[in-house]
């Protein structure tokens, strides 16, 4: 399917690997010229080169921490008048609800709520003026079904979801579609580190921890960043113009609900 976005300009945050990279690759395949970001210079430079070589689009790497004002400024300066924005950042660490203090909450809210909001505030007005834009926020299944050990994520992402629910309807009339994708477990470094956490907590091997987590997924396996990226690219397509303020759950059926 031609997504109709060839030649558009996109910014994908936290994209040297994992879900962000999956989104960057799918947008590049659709012909979008990209600015991509992550903190580790060697990784983001290599990823940018690989994507540019594979898909023949322009890919500009910016090594910066997207959760800081200074990092976002540099990323936004490179992104210019982006038509497409994919917000993403590393997830907060696991723990227990009694352990987290104010600092921990502020850090999680900065990373997984306020950074995405700041990026939208910077780029969406230009999209509205030009009459076309797409925003996809990478959140988490924890928005629909809380994950006990990831209370910081449950909290921050719920805040972002509430913001998007209201804001997306205010910008839709200007041709800008804002939506969230909620990943269930996907085979990335983040999933590996959570597998390790389960293994050490339950005193089992990492393989056993992975099998245990997979057993809760009706599709029978972890999701793949490529499939996640394809969903993101579709939400950024011309054809997605009627999808507004939605929370698309990609979890292999793990959440056992009717609607």
Indicate the residue among 154 and 237 with the shorter CB distance to ligand NAP.
Answer: 154
Indicate the residue among 170 and 200 with the shorter CB distance to ligand NAP.
Answer: 200
Contact criterion met (CB below 8 Å) for 239 and 4: yes
Q: What's the closest the beta carbon of residue 107 comes to ligand NAP, in angstroms? A: 10
Q: How far apart are CA 225 and CA 205, in angstroms?
A: 24
Q: What's the closest the beta carbon of residue 93 comes to ligand NAP, in angstroms? A: 10
Query: How distant, in Å, are the alpha carbons of 12, 55, 86, 163 from that of 137?
Result: 10, 23, 6, 11
Indicate the residue among 38 and 171 with the shorter CB distance to ligand NAP.
Answer: 38
Q: Residue 85: beta bridge partners? A: 11, 135
Q: What's the closest the beta carbon of residue 236 comes to ligand NAP, in angstroms? A: 17
Contacting residues for 77 by C-beta, under 8 A, at least 6 apart: none
Indicate the residue among 100 and 132 with the shorter CB distance to ligand NAP.
Answer: 100
Tell me the three state secondary structure of residue 169: helix
Q: Is 195 exposed, middle or buried (0-12, 13-18, 19+ CB in 10 A)?
A: buried
Q: What's the closest the beta carbon of residue 198 comes to ligand NAP, in angstroms? A: 12
User: Site residues (CB under 6 A) for ligand NAP?
Assistant: 14-20, 37-40, 43, 65-67, 88-91, 138, 140-141, 183, 185-186, 188-191
């Amino acid at each position: 399917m031609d997504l109709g976005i060839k030649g558009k300009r996109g910014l994908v945050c936290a994209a040297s690997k994992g879900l962000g990279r999956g989104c960057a690759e799918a947008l590049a395949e659709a012909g979008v010229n990209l600015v991509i970001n992550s903190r580790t210079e060697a990784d983001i430079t290599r990823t940018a080169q690989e994507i540019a070589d594979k898909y023949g689009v322009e890919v500009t790497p910016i090594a910066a921490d997207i959760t800081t004002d200074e990092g976002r400024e540099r990323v936004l300066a490179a992104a210019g008048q982006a038509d497409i924005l994919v917000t993403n950042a590393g997830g907060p660490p696991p723990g227990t609800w009694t352990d987290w203090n104010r600092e921990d909450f502020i850090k999680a809210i900065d990373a997984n709520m306020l950074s995405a909001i700041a990026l939208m505030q910077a780029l969406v007005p230009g999209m509205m003026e030009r009459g076309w834009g797409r925003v996809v926020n990478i959140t988490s299944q924890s928005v629909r079904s809380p994950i006990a050990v990831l209370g910081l994520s449950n909290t921050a992402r719920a805040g972002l979801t509430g913001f998007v629910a209201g804001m997306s309807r205010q910008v839709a009339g200007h041709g800008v579609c804002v939506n969230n994708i909620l990943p269930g477990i996907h085979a990335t470094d983040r999933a590996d580190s959570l597998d390790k956490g389960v293994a050490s907590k339950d005193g089992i091997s990492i393989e056993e921890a992975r099998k245990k987590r997979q057993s809760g997924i009706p599709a029978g396996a972890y999701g793949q960043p490529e499939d996640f990226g394809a969903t993101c690219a579709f939400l950024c397509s011309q054809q997605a113009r009627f999808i507004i303020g939605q929370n698309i759950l990609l979890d292999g059926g793990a959440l056992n609900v009717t609607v």
